[in-house]
Amino acid sequence: MSDQTFSLGIGYWPRRRSGAELPPNSWSESDHGGLHEDLAHIAELGFDTLVVDLRWEESQPASTTINGAALRGIERVLDRAADHGLRLSIGVLGGTFADTLHLPRWACGMHVDDLLLATRTHRPLMLADDGPTVFSNGRYHREPARDLYRDALLRDAERYQLRE
């Protein structure tokens, strides 16, 4: 019989730094001291893996712009996790939480390409009432998300973020 082990991971969102203006769960505005305390406590509880998400809206506010502060926040959590013997699982292009899509504003709304594809393929358009709820810029929107897999702008933006 082989000795089997498993990883025990926990999802983590950073504490917001005092006076931070960005929304909670922001890697750009995270509390550095709080991060050290949290990770020490997580390791003390016996977890060996930290699961974090880099919210797409924070890390890529425009399709051709990367938020360096958010990436530096992820670098900090990588360094601090190593200090505490924790492995990391990082979700990039984080866009879902429960049944809500958390997307950059530029990834939402109806576009001519959507209309043309629906007409050519005789597929119904997914309207906001039919699809998942979209949360962007701190509020819920009725416009549908653009197609995360087929939309050329989104695919180019996804590749750009992954390269960075």
Question: 49 or 125: which carries more pLDDT confidence?
Answer: 49
Check whether 110 has a pLDDT greater than 80.
no
Q: Which residue has the higher pLDDT, 22 or 101?
A: 101
End-to-end CA distance of the chain: 44
Mean per-residue pLDDT, 40-49: 95
Q: Enumerate the domain spans of the chain.
A: 8-94, 95-150
| Residues 83, 36: Cα–Cα separation, whole Å | 9
Whole-angstrom distance, CA of residue 67 vs CA of residue 152: 21
Q: What gap in Å lies between CA 74 and CA 56, rounded to an integer?
A: 13
Query: Cα(56)–Cα(13) distance, rounded to whole angstroms?
Result: 14
Asked whether residue 22 carries a pLDDT value surpassing 90, the answer given is no
pTM assigned to the model: 0.73
Between 3 and 101, whose confidence is greater? 101
Evaluate whether the domain defined by 8-94 bears CATH number 1.10.10.
no
